[in-house]
Structure 1
Amino acid sequence: MSEEKLSPVEGFKTASNYLRGPIAEELVNGEPNFTGEAMQLLKHHGTYEQDDRDRRKEAKANKVPGGKYYSMMIRSVIPGGVLSSEQLLAQLDLCDEIGNTTIRLTTRQGIQLHGVLKENLRHYIKRVNEIQQTTLAACGDVCRNMMCSPLPIKANVVYDEMQKLCWDLKEHFKPRTGAYHELWISDEETGEKQLAGGGDGGPDPVEPIYGPTYLPRKFKMGVGLPEDNSADIYSQDIGFLGIVEGGKLVGYDLVVGGGFGRTPSAEKTFAAVAKALCYVPADQAIPAAEAVLKVQRDFGNRADRKRARLKYLVHDWGMEKFKTKVEEYYGGALEAPRAVAITEHNDGMGWGEQGDGKWYYGLAIENGRVKDEGDFRLKSALREIGTTLAPPLRITPHQNLIFCDIEPQDKSRLESVLRSHGVPLTEDVSLARRWSMACPAMPTCGLSITESERFMPGMIDQMDTMLAELGLQDELFTTRMTGCPNGCARPYNSDIGLVGRAVGKYTLFLGGSRLGHRLNWIYKDKVPSDEIVPELRKCFELFKAERQPSESFGDFCDRMGKDALLEKCG
């Protein structure tokens, strides 16, 4: 591929000297925002530039520099969602000190802070590293935060081994550049210069896995089990499906090519669930993953970022050609996948025994937003729990929080703290709300077309009423909403997906599954927000009348198909 055909972002990375570029200079130039080049590079350091879209008219009227109230969104990398109470308390302190007073538990089990001004960016990142976390590779053209089932099961070593793989993947695939430490951690610049290498075809001396231009696009991985696909492995570039024999985790089926970003106006783009590639013994999981990643590094599309994800390479080549190339990089033949089916998605909510005499409690947190607002004081509750009980914590892929290692005598105490702060217990949250997710969207996301997080709670209120009237309040199904087609809340494999299409209008997807193993399909496009629940009501009425025994709503829609549903409900 000739140099002139590369996307501008590839040029930024090539000239950046391993993700440095003009970041250091722009941090101190007095401007409220960054240039495009610096902003693209900053993503690899874990931050995006945003602005308050609710205040754009005000900013222009007040002649604010740049015409916008700029701020930064920053993500912390937390493999498998594992963190301590001390780390969470530090994040809560930071959101009050320099953020917008809230934090968000993300769909990739990390923590996201909004509203950080440019001049406070270094303070935040340095503080996060002081509590033994990082923002490096939370965004950008690298391996993002590694996902894994977060359940703290102690009676079964399988969960420990999966979570160890998650951490080992993070360590193996983290960028090696010194730029991160120089920019955010050191008290002063080291003056160190790293030169591009690998020109002889050997590994790059600075980035032996990525090389000086990193990956064509973001890369995601997740680890799960057939009976616990909470990590949504079919949505990942590489999913690791644990194979257990005789109580031991002997290896993994690797599924490849999942990814949900799409552009409705560009037919060349599409959502995809991952396809089975191979089986590998447990000790070969990382070498096999590295081979897959390097194939994407060397053959992924660096000209068109809309088609730069691994899913397009797998689609364009076909699995046979792709596997052959992976075997070449791996250095040997890969076994056929065991083709084990997904059977459950365990969200870890409510009380559960760990197997060591202690308990865990999964708290459903709507859209992952941790805040104090009126009588709902979740942030204050977490502060009290973190300073008194100080339990280890796990963030779930559904943006919820698990309190671990709770002594039997402390169970009522935990519940009491939550209730006294106006926080509903999981048992008091409807199933429709518990199994819903929404991306942040307005007002912070620059890509958002319409509302998501701010709209979803009211819509779920309507759904709860509708389901109760139909006697279907005990049904299990996922509802996921995004303010744009990029799919951050994974709407394309859920039972019900809602994707922003225009202001106040959504594309309604049906036919996915809570298990996450298949795509849904467009039922109706450009549905006005006030017509979503009435449209769904007609489908649920048909579901109640014609469902098969034990059939889920997503399975019912998939069996019926779009044409039959439209004929009977449209």
Structure 2
Amino acid sequence: MSNDSEIKLSDNERLKRESNLLRGTIADDLKDGLTGGFRGDNFQLIRFHGMYQQDDRDLRAERAEQKLEPLLNVMLRCRLPGGIITPQQWLGIDRFAAEDTLYGSIRLTTRQTFQFHGVLKNDIKPMHQLLHRLGMDSIATAGDVNRNVLCTSNPVESELHQQAYEWAKKISEHLLPKTRAYAEIWLDGEKLETTDVEPILGATYLPRKFKTSVVIPPDNDVDLHANDLNFVAIGENGQLVGFNVLVGGGLAMTHGDKLTYPRKASEFGYIPLEHTLAIAEAVVTTQRDWGNRSERKNAKTKYTLERVGVDAFKQEVEKRAGVSFAPIVPYHFTRRGDRIGWVEGIDKQWHLTLFIENGRLLDYPGKPLKTGMAEIAKIHKGDFRLTANQNLIVAGVTVEDKAKIETLARQHGLISDGVSEQRKNAMACVSFPTCPLAMAEAERFLPDFITQVEQVMEKHQLPDEHIILRVTGCPNGCGRAMLAEVGLVGKAPDRYNLHIGGNREGTRIPRMYRENITSAQILSELDGLIGRWASERQEQEGFGDYVIRAGIIKPVIDSARDFYD
């Protein structure tokens, strides 16, 4: 849709074009002992290999005073389609986190995978080789590519979930970069002349990051409207028969720039299973060719759809895939949160969903969570499923093993009967001290803030109720605050934009209610709003639906046009 010779491309386009298919000079940088980081283009290129260079911002000023380089390290995000990991794999990553990272923790993410934080340069290559031995990798979990493919965790309808999960894996594999750069650099693979080609992603890859999900109604636990491409599973008699396809969701924006905004995904139509990979490829290649390569802030699929029109984009996908979309098959969502605790599947196996606050697995005083997970992994015969809500499912537990698993979980603080519904339905991104984009606290802020919200709920006689509440330390959307009933978006230390008016199903974007206010001011606002909700709401009416019905905030109907009204 655009002629690259007539526009000025962003520097990232140069970087990708000159990278020798993502190799750059990363291998040379690994040997450079003068710095703990990566230089020049390699700082960006390592993202395509699943890593971000970071430093501990709590220590930055102190190290500068000592004339020391910042404590440079990398965060690695594993590729884990559908979030499934075996107990043996878990024990391997548990040991690495304990012995070879600065923080000793395993972080479960909103992208249904895990992250290592604080890996020093000398440990980076051994880390990748460990993942390889365990049957995992971090290819394409960052950068301008299709990232980790999400899949509804669904521990109940086991057969339907297994089929959907297999498609999540197929989509992930189909859309991966084909370059051998990862194997050559990290796994000592044979260095070849550059003969590799990228038939789907292209020589300069995608204009911007690309996210895909597979979702099984009535659970919207993957927040489909946060993703560029979504496959909504349609089942008949417990068997997967096809997908509704939705395109163009995304939550990131830039403070002060009204040309950026969150957007819900648009419905394209229904396809039978055999066309899944063709449609996935056609959506990706259309975005590859039509996306904005001049202005990265407007390079995501959602902006391409707004610029060219949904119908034009859809028709191009049909043309490239050789497939016509059928009308959308009716579907609906009833919930997003994980089913914390035990549930029995239709296969008569049991599944235990553990609430992991902020997804951070570490041994805390009196709550050795990380050790507890390792102890469970030593005896568990099923698998683990990481959820897109930062929780963990011990899946496929037999009746005989159920009591042993629960005992271990309780002994290590992984089960606590006193966790409120409000706490279970709150989420935050990592933010400080490791994220370089952080403007305000999120993960470290959330637990105490939720305690204060719980007190407000108790005050208004709603101790068993909940509000979908999310905090993100900047406007990039990792905590998915733009699909919450109450979303806090960081602007500066202890200052956030307060958004309200999303819904429990995750199908409405909240609107900004107050700008740049402190956490104390937010609590005061919530106190008044929750008080009104408690006294005026209709039966079973969620907070987000109430503030819309009561006229407290206008609903966001079309975010491209009325999000800032």
Superposed CA offset, 1:500-539 (max 9, x none): 0122101111111221111111111112022222211111
Q: Describe the SS at the equivalent of 1:2.
A: helix
- CA distance in 2 between partners of 1:109 and 1:34 (Å): 27
The question of whether the paired residues in 2 share the 8 Å contact of 1:475 and 1:552 is answered with no
1:504–1:529 Cα contact (<8 Å) kept? yes
SS of the residue corresponding to residue 256 of structure 2 reads coil
The alignment status of 1:129 with 2:168, answered yes or no, reads no
1:524 aligns to what SS in structure 2? strand
Residue identity matched to 1:489:
G
Q: Cα 1:262–1:354, aligned 2, differ >3 Å: closer, same or farther?
A: same
Alignment-mate amino acid for residue 451 of structure 1: E
Aligned to 2:306: 315
Deviates more, 1:493-502 or 1:354-363: 354-363
Change (3 A) 1:465 1:336: same
Quote the Cα distance in structure 2 between the aligned partners of 1:333 and 1:412: 51
- 1:42-91 per-residue CA deviation (whole Å, 9 max, x = no partner) reads 101000000110011111111113xx111110010111110011111111
1:382 is aligned to 2:385: no
1:358 aligns with 349
1:3 offset after TM fit, Å? Answer: 7.5
> Residues of 2 paired with 1:494 and 1:308: CA distance?
24
- Count of residue pairs the alignment pairs up: 550
Counterpart CA distance in 2 for 1:3 and 1:70 is: 39
Question: Which residue is equivalent to 2:465?
Answer: 475
Q: Is the 8 A contact 2:229 2:245 kept in 1?
A: yes
Q: Give the aligned partner of residue 562 of structure 2.
A: none
Give the drift of 1:319.
Answer: 1.1
Which one of the candidate residues 489, 499, 511 is aligned to 1:521? 511
Aligned to 1:73: 75
Q: Is the 8 A contact 1:151 1:348 kept in 2?
A: no
Alignment-derived partner of residue 19 in structure 1 = 22
Residue 4 of structure 1 and its aligned partner are, at CA, apart by: 6.6
Among 436, 444, 457, the residue aligned to 2:426: 436
Q: Where does residue 167 of structure 1 map in the other structure?
A: 169
What amino acid sits opposite 1:137 in the alignment?
Answer: A
C-alpha change, 1:385 and 1:332, in structure 2 (3 Å) is closer
Q: Deviations over 1:435-488 (max 9, x none)?
A: 111111001000000100001000011111111221212224311111000010
For residues 349-381 of structure 1, give each alpha carbon's deviation from its aligned partner in whole angstroms, at most 9, with x where no partner exists: 210112233211000000100001211110111
Give the Cα–Cα distance (whole angstroms) in 1 for the partners of residues 220 and 293 of structure 2: 32
Secondary structure of the corresponding residue to residue 53 of structure 1 = coil
Q: Does 1:262 align with 2:253?
A: yes
Among 40, 51, 59, which residue is 1:55 paired with?
59
For 1:5, the equivalent position in structure 2 comes to 8
Q: How does 1:76-95 map to 2 (within 5 A)?
A: 76-95=78-97
Aligned to 1:446: 436
**Aligned twin of 1:41:** 45
| Bigger mean CA offset, 437-446 vs 529-538 | 529-538
Which structure 2 segments of 5+ residues have no match?
Answer: 556-565
Equivalent position SS for 1:243: strand
* Paired position in structure 2 for 1:176: 178
CA contact (8 A) 2:242 2:272 kept: yes
One-letter code aligned to 1:309: K
Cα shift readout 1:195-228 (whole Å, capped 9, x = no counterpart): 4xxxxxxxxx621111111101111011112311
Calculate the aligned-residue CA RMSD, in Å: 1.7
Aligned equivalent of 1:505? 495
Amino acid across the alignment from 1:133? M
Counterpart-to-counterpart distance in 1, 2:161 and 2:48: 30
Give the partner amino acid of 1:515.
E
Give the match's secondary structure for 2:388: coil
Q: How far 1:390 sits from its partner (Å)?
A: 4.8
Alignment partner of 2:295 out of 275, 282, 304: 304
Offset at residue 156 of structure 1 (A): 5.0
Give the structure 2 partner of residue 216 of structure 1.
207
For residues 150-299 of structure 1, what are the structure 2 equivalents within 5 Å? 150-153=153-156, 157-186=159-188, 190-195=190-195, 206-299=197-290
C-alpha contact 1:227 1:346 (8 A) present in aligned 2:
no
C-alpha separation between the residues in 1 aligned to 2:283 and 2:551?
35
* 2:217 and 2:333 in contact (8 A); partners too: yes
Any idea what SS the aligned residue of 1:352 has?
Answer: strand
Q: Taking structure 1 as the reference length, what is the TM-score of the superposition? A: 0.93
* Residue in structure 1 matched with residue 328 of structure 2 by the alignment: 337
Q: Say whether the 8 Å CA contact 1:107–1:399 is kept in structure 2.
A: yes
Partner of 1:199: none
**What are the ranges of 5 or more consecutive residues in structure 1 without an aligned counterpart?**
196-204, 566-570
What one-letter code is carried by the residue in structure 2 that aligns with 1:25?
D
Q: Distance in 2 between matches of 1:433 and 1:300?
A: 39
**What amino acid is aligned across from residue 192 of structure 2 in structure 1?**
E
Using the TM superposition, give the Cα deviation of residue 563 of structure 1 relative to its aligned residue in structure 2, in angstroms: 4.9
Matches of 1:284 and 1:332, distance apart in 2: 7
Structure 1 distance, partners of 2:14, 2:38, is 17
Q: Which moved more, 1:230-239 or 1:479-488?
A: 230-239
Moved more, 244-253 or 428-437: 244-253
2:354–2:414 CA contact under 8 A, matched in 1: no
Q: Is the 8 A contact 1:477 1:513 kept in 2?
A: no
Q: Which residue identity does 1:107 align to in structure 2? A: T
Q: Give yes or no for the alignment of 1:398 onto 2:400.
A: no
CA distance in 1, matches of 2:351, 2:497: 38
Q: Provide the residue aligned with 2:526 in structure 1.
A: 536
**Cα gap change, 1:331/1:423 in structure 2, threshold over 3 Å: closer, same or farther?**
closer
Distance 1:59 1:528, change over 3 A: same
